[in-house]
Amino acid sequence: MKKLMFAAPLALFASVAIASDLEARVEEMMLSSFKANGIASLDRQKRDEIQKACSSPTQPDAETMKRLEAVEMQTIQWPANGDYWQGGSWEEGQRIALSGRGLTWTDNADTVNGGGCYNCHGLDPANESAGTIGPALHGYAKVRGTSEEIVKYTWGKLWNAKAYNACSDMPRNGFGGILSEEQIRHVMAYLFDPASPVNK
């Protein structure tokens, strides 16, 4: 019995040590395997706490998820003028949502980033090309409405999706510098404007 009592903590310690060593080796491999190329710099290989937690072999527990989400929630920048989408253009939002350009090693530093939203979401029902990783957003405002709560939630989700689900596959568009506040306003208009094809 005493042997078993000592064996369990030792096994746990050994597994933690192995996991820590493996993570260090993976980190080293990532940094040594990739080279900076154009605007794609090596800083992209450095993971923050939430990226480390969500790329580990085991999903973070509920308490850790909640703590990480609270930290990410603090990074959301709400529109300074309180305009979430009325000042945006759904046409420009559509262009942003359908563009996958920007931030790649083949792009110039002045290439305007797109959101690449269509890679994961169905948007305009007339668009045949759409991903299925995220939910279809057809009829976004028609289905969800335009209450202050849903408008703020959508802005926050576009700015930093990990504030709502720590291990979300959705990129941290605003926080990560992928889209500007103005671009997010245009995408919001694409989702909320009754004239947008999303809501037809």
Q: What is the pLDDT of residues 136-191, one digit of tens each?
A: 999 999 999 999 999 999 999 999 999 999 999 999 999 999 999 999 999 999 99
Spell out the residues 6+ positions from residue 145 whose beta carbon is closer than 8 angstroms to its own: none
Q: What is the pLDDT of residues 15-61, one digit of tens each?
A: 555 667 777 787 788 778 888 888 777 777 778 999 989 988 888 99
Q: Is the CB of residue 114 less than 8 Å from the CB of residue 190?
A: no
Question: Looking at domain 90-199, which of 3.40.50.300, 3.30.1490.20, 1.10.760.10, 1.10.1740.10 is its CATH number?
Answer: 1.10.760.10
Task: Tell me the C-alpha distance between 159 and 187, whole Å.
Answer: 11
Task: Tell me the C-alpha distance between 160 and 166, whole Å.
Answer: 10
Q: Which of 62, 52, 61 is nearest to 23 (CA)?
A: 52
Q: What is the pLDDT of residues 50-75, one digit of tens each?
A: 998 998 888 899 999 999 999 999 99
Task: For tokens 């689900």, name the residue.
Answer: 165
Domain ranges of the chain: 2-59, 90-199
